[in-house]
Each structure stands twice: as structure tokens, then as C-alpha cells.
Amino acid sequence: MFDFLKKKIEKFTRQVSHKPPAAPEPLEKTFEEPEKPFQETKPTPDEREVEAPEPKTGTEPVAPETKTQLAVPEEKLIQQDTQETSEKPAEAKETPAEKTGVSRGKTFGLNTISKIKQSVFGSIKVKKEDFKDALFELELGLIESDVSMDCARQINHDIGEHLEGLEIKRGENISRRIRQEIKKVLLETMQGSEFDLIGEIKSASAGKKPVVVLFVGPNGAGKTTTIAKIAKMLKDNSTNSILCAADTFRAAAIQQLETHAKNLDIKLIKHDYGADPAAVVFDAVRSAESKKIDAVLIDTAGRQDTSHNLMQELDKIVKVSKPDFTVFVGESISGHGIINQINTFKRISNVNAVILTKLDTDVKGGTALSIFHSSHVPIAFFGTGQELFDLKKFKSGEFAENLVEE
């Protein structure tokens, strides 16, 4: 899961770490450049082999053909050249290398040693130019991964603030360091985004019985199965509950919840198909009060946030049940639209938490990243399958680690 978003972050990390920050300016030179090594001088035209001039015609005898060499002896040339190159002005100051007795050309100069020390023991600073283009690509990648636009821009801005001027020690793994900074930004973005639904219900039931939990959301998001999962978790945590089948628009929904109730050995309150859902809710709450049940879990019909009549009906359910917690159940693959859905349901009832379903089919993962930033509603669980144990508690640290892991 989240492979698409992970690849976008991985690409950004690779682009920045493979383009290392600019090296620091070299230190000023502290000595003169060493003289060029001795090079053998080329012979002058006078020193080259020349042919004897042709004899003049006449009575003069013809001299035999000979070749002559007018080169200066090699010893003299070497001696002369060495003398010239080794001479230095009388007023020239001794260099640090001469003071310490270090001969030139055989060992490193002080400037070279300083560079090596800075390279091994020093640090480098990340400049904005090192990641500017990669950061722009990351923003587009976040939006492609179903991260809301305002959240993507905020994340990019924060990553830029964290990376610019960042000091990285020589020899440190640049890729790992960049991933650490990205993780910090993700954690800052999701700060306060966790909600312990089971713990909150259990705690509230100590002072009030029953605790009313209303589940809302669009069609097909998996509310009925999710309610059964929550009932099982409450039972495993020594908190009893009853189920309320307030989705009277679908006979299949009533039958499905009834099957779950039998498997969990939990009481179910239901009416006939087509009954008033608010009446079912009223009966469920009164039954739980009389039997001192810890919690009532209310299943409602799936409704789109654009359906005015169905939203009015939900308003009636809220007024009858007076829920202690309202949980929005939505698909993680619904993209940016889930933010609008949550905000619309918040106008009817205060949404306390979100459960994201079908996470096992979500390759993008951006929805979870932007929900809290854009709606200020925390996440309680991830639904990862159809079985009753396929409900994973949301942990922001684990989520961020999963996105930046190598």
C-alpha cells in the first residue's frame, strides 16, 4: 500500500542526494606555487645536425661528405638550466614549507592538508539550488498521490525550510539524512491526527451508560463491516455493546449486521425494512440504558454529502441519539473528495474521528496524509480487509516511517 506516494518521496530523495551540495570555497593559498619541474631544452637550430656545404666547382679538391654536430655538451646545459631555475629573488620570503623543512614536490603543502581535513572532518551546507527542481516535482507527485493541494504546498514549503542550510557531515549518508528531515515534516503535518476510539469509548462508559457512537459516511464505504470490527475490539477490551441497524433502506444491510451480531454473540436492535431509522435508534438507546450496556453502535444508511433529503434525515437521527462520538467511515481511495464529505457531515454532527477503509487497495496513500491537515479530524483506524480482525490502529509515526523507509 502507498507505493505510489512512497515512490514520489523516494524519487525526491534520490534526486537531492545524488546531486551533492556545492563544496565549500577552498582556503586561500599560503605559499607560492612550486616551480615547474626541469624540462630538457630542445636543441637550437645551430645545435642540429647539418650537412656540409657542397664543394665549389673549379680547381679546388672535393671534400668528402661529412656531418657535424655543434651541440653544447649536455652537462653544461643541465648545469646552466638548473642554476637559472633554482635562483630566486633575494627579497623573497621563506614559505611555511621551507620553514618546516618540507621539500616541495615530495609532500603535501599546508593548503592541501587543510583541504583534506575539511573534506574528512568538516561539513557541507545544503543550498536551495540543490533541490529546487526536485521540490517542484515532489509537489506535483504529492497531488498525484491524492494529497490535497493546500497540504502538498505546506509539506513542500516545510521540506524546503528543513533542507535549506542543513549541515551534512562528511561521510554521512546524505540519502538517509534527507529521509529523516522528510519524516520530521510529515510528523509535523500529522501532529494531533491520532484518535484512540476504543480507549475513548471505554473511558466515557465509566461515567455514562450507554456511550452512543454514530457511524456515518457515503455509500459503499464499508460502515456495516467496520461497526462489527469495532464491536469485536470493544469486546476484546472488556467493553460490551449492542448493535443498531438504522440502515433501513437496504434489507441486505440489516441481514449483514444480524449475521455479525450472531457471530460476536452481541444483541442487535432492528426494525423491518423501510422503517423510520430514527425510531430504531431511539429503541436501541433505551434498551442499552435499561440493561446498563456500555455502548451503542449505530449503523446508518450510506448517503452522499450532496443529497439534501438524506442529510436532513441524518440530522433527525443525531437529534434523537445525541451521539457521544460520531465516526466518519470513508474509502481511502476516494481522493480529495473525502475532505468535502467530512466537512459536510461536520455540519450535521461533530465528527470526532475518521476510519479509512479499503487501505489494502490503496496504492497512493495521500488521502490519509491530508485528512487531518484539511479537515482537522483525526484518524482512528485503517480498514485493511473484510475479516473482523482487519482493522489497524492509525499511528502517525508508523505511517511516516512507512513512506520514507528505504
Q: For the residues 396-405, what does the mean pLDDT come to?
A: 88
The residue among 309 and 108 whose pLDDT is bigger is 309
- Residues 69, 22: contact at Cβ < 8 Å? no
Q: Is the per-residue pLDDT at 210 higher than 90?
A: yes
Give the range with max mean pLDDT: 25-39, 42-56, 231-245: 231-245
Is residue 381 within a helix (H) or strand (E), and if so which, with residue range?
strand 379-383
User: CA dist 288 to 117, 199, 200, 226, Å?
Assistant: 75, 20, 18, 20
8-state DSSP, 166: -
State pLDDT tens for residues 137-163.
988 888 888 888 889 999 999 999 988
Q: Is the per-residue pLDDT at 31 higher than 50?
A: no
Q: Is the per-residue pLDDT at 128 higher than 50?
A: yes
The residue among 16 and 240 whose pLDDT is bigger is 240
Residue 54: the pLDDT is: 52
- Residues 109, 27: contact at Cβ < 8 Å? no
Give the range with max mean pLDDT: 19-33, 120-134, 277-291, 295-309: 277-291
The residue whose grid cell reads 450472531 is: 262
The residue among 19 and 186 whose pLDDT is bigger is 186
Q: For the residues 276-297, what does the mean pLDDT come to?
A: 96
Nearest to 311 by CA among 277, 342, 345, 337: 345
Name beta bridge partners: 381. Answer: 355, 393
Residue 5: the pLDDT is: 78
Q: Is the per-residue pLDDT at 289 higher than 90?
A: yes
Name the least confident of 114-123, 236-245, 375-384.
114-123
**What is the value of pTM for the model shown?**
0.72
Domains annotated for the chain, with CATH where assigned, are 3-19+123-189 (1.20.120.140), 197-395 (3.40.50.300)
Residue 21: the pLDDT is: 46
